[in-house]
Amino acid sequence: MDAFILAVDQSTSGTKALVIDASGHVLAKSSAPHKQIYPAAGWVEHDPVEIYEQVKKCALDALEQAGIGADRLAALTLTNQRETAVLWDRATGEPAYNAIVWQCQRTESFCTELKAQGHEENVSARTGLKLDPYFSAAKWAWMLDNAPGAREALAEGRLLAGTMDSWLVWKLTGGRVHATDYTNASRTSLFNIHTLQWDEEMCALFGVPSSLLPAVKFSDEVLGHTDPAWLGASVPIAGIIGDSQAALFGNLCLTPGAAKATYGTGTSVLMNVGNRAAQADGGLVQAIAWGRGGEVTYALEAVIRTSGDSLNWVRDNLGFFSSYEEMERLLAEAPDSAGVYLVPAFVGLGAPYWRPDARAAITGMSRSAGRAHIVRAAWESIAYQVRDAIELLQSESGIALRALYADGGAADSATLMQFQSDLLDRPVSRLGVAELSAMGSAYMGGLAVGLWSSLDEIAGLPREARIYEPRMEATARERLYGGWKRAVRSVLAGAAEEE
């Protein structure tokens, strides 16, 4: 079929738009960063209007690069940063407040209070999630209480709430469609992953009326069509799926036990567990992997709050390097970290610890330690946290990891992927497709509109992979990992003392 997918990947750090043909090749790509807003310590926001404008700009740029018009698009697909919460006025089309990002910790005390009241077990049983500021519900509750005019707009029936996908779908359809998919709904703490409906008890607990929330659809459904005033044609919108789940699908982790790690600002380690929700203990959360073909597939997830963003911190806050080429030179100067560890708990620690009150630390510094060792410690912390996550997934699921599929920006580093394989003592596979989240949503959207007829056809598309095999001696591997565990214990002990 002479038709194309326009895949939008709206992530924590920026927006990308890709034009993909029926053979799965990326013909064009346009990207733009957006502002990271830090109003107070531990607070993180984005401007939803800026992001919407960037989606439009990048999409038009990508179509121009590809030399095609919107009339040749089979679908526009969308994958997005999860848990980031938006509240907007349906009458004006304007946000009631900046988007509150998944990293934001402003609702920590609210979540702690709900825990103290004994609600966490019920929240987990219904939603599969922890009672934690990471997820969307507490963010909407905060906005309803604190955004200027929010309570008045709520009383007048003007407010809508959604994650970033819902906001963009609403804007791109000219305000005609308020919808999300199962993956994004399942990250809000308001969606019952067993009944597959918004949970009224959870809505009451968090104080977020269900009337504000979007309709929940399968990822391979057409949710609506773009406003023709934007692209010059009315294009079906399909393939809506949260970025981590999109990467799981893009890696074709279609059978129970298949796992992937997306190395981004944070890292999501996700394992397919089939058509029934698996018990999540020890710091894991339950997730809906995707809804497709009228059925839901479940996953277990280990959430790492800060991974690639630790490198941004070393670059931007410490000024230790200005480009990633310079970072690679520093890593070459320091073939090991000389015992230095960086525990990047800038916004708390996720799995397996789930301590939002933990704060970052650099340990093991000697007089001879320099900036190259700190850069390497930040870089290695990504792999250490993924090993933490894999250890937890294996112990709780009872499924042994055979290989890890890696994607995301940091997975482009062959040195990091080799170190990851060494730490896990398992192969790590990096597909030659650079944009796995975008490809996952494109595959979903393409199935929705008939660009591809089946998963077998998608699996047969040309795909290259590089496989990293473990090479490190067992004693060296366990010595390094033991040092990491000691560094984490010191951070947790510090948090306990403050408490």
- Rounded-to-integer distance, Cα 388 and Cα 364, Å: 20
Q: Is the pLDDT of residue 424 over 70?
A: yes
Mean pLDDT of 9-32: 93
pLDDT tens per residue, range 298-351: 999 888 888 889 999 999 999 999 998 899 899 888 889 999 999 999 988 888
Rg (CA), the chain: 22
**pLDDT given for residue 220 in this prediction:** 93
Q: Which residue has the tokens 């951070």?
A: 491
Q: Which of 213-217, 234-238, 276-280 has the lowest mean pLDDT?
A: 276-280
pLDDT tens per residue, range 83-111: 999 999 999 999 999 999 998 999 999 99
**pLDDT given for residue 27 in this prediction:** 93
pLDDT tens per residue, range 25-57: 999 999 999 999 999 988 999 999 999 999 999
- Close Cβ partners of 110 (under 8 Å, ≥ 6 residues apart): 133, 138, 141, 142
Evaluate whether 267 touches 304 at the Cβ level (below 8 Å): yes
Q: Is the pLDDT of residue 20 over 90?
A: yes
Return the beta strands (E) in 193-258 as ranges: 197-198, 215-217, 224-225, 236-242
| Domains of the chain in sequence order | 4-243 (3.30.420.40)
Above pLDDT 70, what percent of the chain? 98
Mean pLDDT of 213-222: 96
Q: Is the pLDDT of residue 58 over 70?
A: yes
**pLDDT given for residue 236 in this prediction:** 96
Looking at the DSSP assignment, which residues form a beta bridge with residue 270? 260, 301
**pLDDT given for residue 497 in this prediction:** 62
**pLDDT given for residue 498 in this prediction:** 63
The backbone torsions φ and ψ at residue 25, rounded to the nearest 5 degrees and listed phi first, read: -85, 140
Query: How does residue 400 score in pLDDT terms, banded at 50, 70 and 90?
Result: confident
User: Measured between alpha carbons, how far is residue 69 from residues 22, 32, 57, 449 in Å?
Assistant: 16, 21, 15, 18
Q: Using DSSP, state whether 203 is helix, strand or coil.
A: helix
Query: How does residue 2 score in pLDDT terms, banded at 50, 70 and 90?
Result: low
Spatial CA neighbour of 476 closest among 328, 279, 336, 294: 336
Angle at Cα 330 formed by Cα 374 and Cα 42, nearest 5°?
40
Q: Is the pLDDT of residue 285 over 90?
A: no
48: preceding bond cis by omega (within 30 degrees): no
**pLDDT given for residue 401 in this prediction:** 78
Q: Is the pLDDT of residue 444 over 60?
A: yes
Q: Which of 118-132, 348-362, 388-402 has the lowest mean pLDDT?
A: 388-402
In one letter, which amino acid is 146?
N
Query: CB pairs under 8 A, 24+ apart, for 360-363?
Result: 360/306, 360/491, 361/487, 361/490, 361/491, 361/494, 363/486, 363/487, 363/490
Pairing outcome for strands 236-242 and 197-198: unpaired
**pLDDT given for residue 188 in this prediction:** 96
**pLDDT given for residue 364 in this prediction:** 94
Q: Which of 153-167, 380-394, 407-421 has the lowest mean pLDDT?
A: 407-421
- Rounded-to-integer distance, Cα 213 and Cα 163, Å: 9
Query: How does residue 203 score in pLDDT terms, banded at 50, 70 and 90?
Result: very high
| Region of 128 on the Ramachandran plot (φ > 0 left; ψ -120 to 50 alpha; else beta) | left
- Choose between 230 and 216: higher pLDDT: 216
pLDDT tens per residue, range 445-455: 999 999 999 99
